[in-house]
Amino acid sequence: MKEVVKIALAGFGTVGTGLVKILMENKDWIKRRTGKEIIVSQILVKNLNKPRPIIPQSEPIFTNNVDEFLQNKDWDILVELIGGLELPYQIISKAILFGKHVVTANKALLAIKGKELLQLANAKNVGLYFEASVGGGIPIVQTLKESLCANKVTSISGILNGTANYILTEMSQQGLSFDLALKQAQEKGYAEADPALDIDGIDAAHKLVILIFLAYGEIYPFEKLWIKGIKQVDLLDINFAKELGYILKLIAQVQRESNGLRAGVFPAFFPNNHILSKVDGAFNAILVQGNATGPVVLCGQGAGDLPTGSSVLADIISLIKHNSQINNTGFKDDPFQQAKCLDFMDWECKHYFRFQVKDKPGVLSSLSGVMGEYNISIAQAIQKTQTKTKQGVPIVFLSHRAKLKQVTAAINKINEFDFILEPTIHYPIIE
Amino acid sequence: MKEVVKIALAGFGTVGTGLVKILMENKDWIKRRTGKEIIVSQILVKNLNKPRPIIPQSEPIFTNNVDEFLQNKDWDILVELIGGLELPYQIISKAILFGKHVVTANKALLAIKGKELLQLANAKNVGLYFEASVGGGIPIVQTLKESLCANKVTSISGILNGTANYILTEMSQQGLSFDLALKQAQEKGYAEADPALDIDGIDAAHKLVILIFLAYGEIYPFEKLWIKGIKQVDLLDINFAKELGYILKLIAQVQRESNGLRAGVFPAFFPNNHILSKVDGAFNAILVQGNATGPVVLCGQGAGDLPTGSSVLADIISLIKHNSQINNTGFKDDPFQQAKCLDFMDWECKHYFRFQVKDKPGVLSSLSGVMGEYNISIAQAIQKTQTKTKQGVPIVFLSHRAKLKQVTAAINKINEFDFILEPTIHYPIIE
């Protein structure tokens, strides 16, 4: 590549601004690393009149016209930081067809259209890089693609959404309700005005699809994931968790079984001594179990202008250095076969239950009777008459290992008892 | 490279065996990743008659003759896993002169002769790769060289020696003395018969020199590091640490100041909520503070056949993929200038002191008098008359921030009091 590498930047929000800040602040350092000057030569924005906190020294052309942005081809690498699906898809595919390298942080697009775009990039022999799409400043993409590539990955467990982790941490540490914690996250700029992608587990699920692709070289269709969000999380269960030596976290997880992959995103209880239980606030962490390395954990800021900008820039530099070796799948053979997706209902783990009951004789016996009927063995039962709640008294069970389908069936039956005042709460326990 | 990549393996101990195990166990997987078959074609050993737990399927030529090993050049990559300095230096330089790529896990050699060997490799345009030299299965070399390369690194703090960490963890969790914990580490195979490199901090210091090179592109001469080991660590201080909300760890640390780098290896108190305080047993962890990413933590098994073998193999695969782009310094300009090495005595931090004193009036006043004289402000003082020890009673001070030279001067003066029964113990406190 030439001495000056030109970036066409689509989108100039938080991450785009972060990228420009790093390019300015660390300009000499990047020259030391690459021997090149990296400049932003044009920027696609929605609103030309919006004030910008920072303007690149290179005085790029600003445009809000997509065609104009694409037609001027005097640049080397497209950096897509718009977000959303349709426009990024259109811009990225055109850039690839022009024979240009692409860097993107767009997890939704990669989770839904990654196969198609990577196949197109491979066909045109250009790079489609996406370190910033998972884990913000955490180098998980390169780690799975290169450093751990000799490993068969047994499982990946990740805290992949900083907003959800921030909300659960505030609930646990400050005793806030879900609604208050969410409001606080929005005030601090961690959560969007519409927080659905974060709190419904969708964002974490997009990232999980990308991690599965990198680790296994297989496509896990997004719609086959088992996804549960944190909207329903009650402070009562967070407090029971604490009392029992656990902490509630939103986890994204894939496990390799002999006959396929089991993957999902869901809130779960982590024991206090689990390394991921220490990952608080807006931090992300990913635990990879390799058949050679054993457990490897990467932890860092999962979002934000500079951390995510740093990952975008790592991709740009990687493309500059390895200009001719840019297959970004990490596989020489076809990594686009569909994974064998196992039913999450067959997953066997320990469980937490909270039944909200009328305080009357025989309740405990009825509950444990149904558990026995579905072959769920109870490890611990807690009934505290003094606990005051809106609805009756809570009874908590911790069970030994059982399949999710046994648990679901048992809960359905239990919810029909007339002494049950609220739908039963249940969380898997991670070991 | 050809369809079959041939490895010349020097040394067939723990890591060499691990490498061969992974090559056999994950053979098909590695073919998926690289499109190549990787075989071991010859092995240099000291003792031809020693029974081997595993023999590569490729039926390599075994030799104990260095000249024979080097003269047969029908291989692509030298993997040096002998350890020590002289023989590895000789073998690696010859391989580079032959124009062959080299992979090594030899931290001592890299810390002492890294500059010379990397310059030679650059001159001959071959790769000298060393992911396995720091942190076993943790991908810290690639992370510093590539993923975080756009960052100016503010500091690195690492638990880089699994043996020392295992010993300190056992002392803390099981209440073992240093001698007993060391004996147990030796029985479990974590510590060598001569454990000096591990417990004197030398091994961690070798690794720190490598991390500094990767992060800053400067050579930090080994002999300029401030190195303190853990041989003198007393259970009494580990218990005081616990009581005060800290844990004692052997840390390797470099900090960038405006006028240079400050680097050392030493036992220190970590607060219980510090992420590195949770890294127990033989695990390693590295906390990198980048000016864009903020804190990034990598954690995993710091040693062992398979984790370290996995990193060796990652390097081999990297060389196969990026055959033509193999400058492994991570810098385009000269990364071999000597760092400006700052005096550790100017480092300012909080401190822990334990004075072992005769129980008589005026002692506390004399101790705090000297502290005041050297401008060290006391944050907390603990005197427990009931604590029984071999020598008098312990008085513990925690101080606010002060320079190491103030602390050293104060301790020297205090140790001359006739009521001091043992040399005063002191540890820096990490914030």
In chain B, what is the straight-line distance between the N-terminal and C-terminal CA atoms, in Å?
49
* pLDDT at position B387 over 80: no
ipTM metric? 0.94
- Rounded Cα–Cα distance for residues B261 and B124 (Å): 31
Same topology, domains B4-136+307-321 and B140-302? Answer is no
Q: For residue range B241-254, list pLDDT tens digits in order.
A: 999 999 999 999 99
**Closest Cα to residue A80, out of A44, A111, A122?**
A44
User: Which region among A188-202, B12-26, B117-131, B266-280 has the lowest average model confidence (pLDDT)?
Assistant: A188-202
Q: Work out the mean pLDDT of chain A and round it to a whole number.
A: 94
Domain spanning B140-302: CATH 3.40.50.720: no
* pLDDT at position A408 over 90: yes
Q: Which CATH architecture has domain A140-301?
A: 2-Layer Sandwich (3.30)
Place B289 in a pLDDT band, splitting at 50, 70 and 90.
very high
User: Which region among A72-76, A336-340, B4-8, B256-260 has the lowest average model confidence (pLDDT)?
Assistant: A72-76
pLDDT at A229: 97
CA distance A309 to chain B (A): 8
What torsion do the CA atoms of B68, B74, B75, B79 make, to the nearest 10 degrees?
A: 0
* pLDDT at position B389 over 90: no
Burial of residue A2 (number of CB atoms within 10 Å: 0-12, 13-18, 19+):
exposed
* pLDDT at position B315 over 60: yes
pLDDT at B278: 87
Q: How many CB atoms lie within 10 A of CB A51?
A: 5
Inter-chain residue contact B314 with A147, CB threshold 8 Å: yes
Q: Among B139, B150, B307, whose Cβ lies nearest the Cβ of A294?
A: B307
Place A428 in a pLDDT band, splitting at 50, 70 and 90.
very high
Inter-chain residue contact B146 with A317, CB threshold 8 Å: yes
Contacts of B30 in chain A (CB under 8 A): 150
Inter-chain residue contact B297 with A297, CB threshold 8 Å: yes
**Which residue has tokens 């098909």?**
B28
| 3-class state of residue B202 by DSSP | helix
Inter-chain residue contact A306 with B292, CB threshold 8 Å: yes
pTM exceeding 0.90: yes
pLDDT at B189: 81
Q: Among B34, B142, B322, whose Cβ lies nearest the Cβ of A322?
A: B322
Q: Are A115 and A140 in contact (CB under 8 A)?
A: no
Q: Among B34, B146, B275, whose Cβ lies nearest the Cβ of A314?
A: B146
Place A385 in a pLDDT band, splitting at 50, 70 and 90.
low
Place A326 in a pLDDT band, splitting at 50, 70 and 90.
low
CA distance B337 to chain A (A): 13
Question: What mean pLDDT comes out for the span B25-44?
Answer: 96
Q: For residue range A10-48, list pLDDT tens digits in order.
A: 999 999 999 999 999 999 999 999 999 999 999 999 999
* pLDDT at position B386 over 70: no
Count interface pairs A-B at CB distance under 8 A.
188
Q: For residue range B320-342, list pLDDT tens digits in order.
A: 987 666 677 889 888 999 999 99
Q: For residue range A177-201, list pLDDT tens digits in order.
A: 999 999 999 998 887 778 999 999 9
Asked about B50 being catalytic, the answer comes back as no
Share of chain B above pLDDT 90, in %: 89
Inter-chain residue contact B333 with A297, CB threshold 8 Å: no
* pLDDT at position A281 over 60: yes
* pLDDT at position A388 over 60: no
Q: Which CATH architecture has domain A4-137+307-321?
A: 3-Layer(aba) Sandwich (3.40)
* pLDDT at position B192 over 90: no
Q: Are A15 and A103 in contact (CB under 8 A)?
A: no
Pairs from B234-240 (Cβ < 8 Å, separation ≥ 24): B234/B178, B234/B425, B235/B171, B235/B175, B235/B176, B235/B177, B235/B178, B236/B354, B236/B389, B236/B394, B237/B352, B237/B354, B237/B425, B237/B427, B238/B168, B238/B171, B238/B172, B240/B352, B240/B354, B240/B382, B240/B394, B240/B396
Q: For residue range B63-122, list pLDDT tens digits in order.
A: 999 999 998 889 999 999 999 999 999 999 999 999 999 999 999 999 999 999 999 999
Place B384 in a pLDDT band, splitting at 50, 70 and 90.
confident
Contacts of A307 in chain B (CB under 8 A): 292-294
User: Which region among A102-106, A187-191, B370-374 has the lowest average model confidence (pLDDT)?
Assistant: A187-191
Contacts of B310 in chain A (CB under 8 A): 148, 150-151, 290, 292-293
CATH, range B4-136+307-321: 3.40.50.720
- Rounded Cα–Cα distance for residues B59 and B53 (Å): 14
Boundaries of every domain in chain A? 4-137+307-321, 140-301, 344-429
Domain spanning B345-429: CATH 3.30.70.260: yes
Residue B141: HSE in the Cβ half-sphere, 13 Å Cα cutoff: 29
Q: Are B182 and B191 in contact (CB under 8 A)?
A: yes
Annotated catalytic residue: which of B36, B107, B207, B403?
Answer: B207
Inter-chain residue contact A324 with B324, CB threshold 8 Å: yes
Domain A344-429 CATH class label: alpha beta
Q: Work out the mean pLDDT of chain B and round it to a whole number.
A: 94
Structure tokens at A400: 């030994």
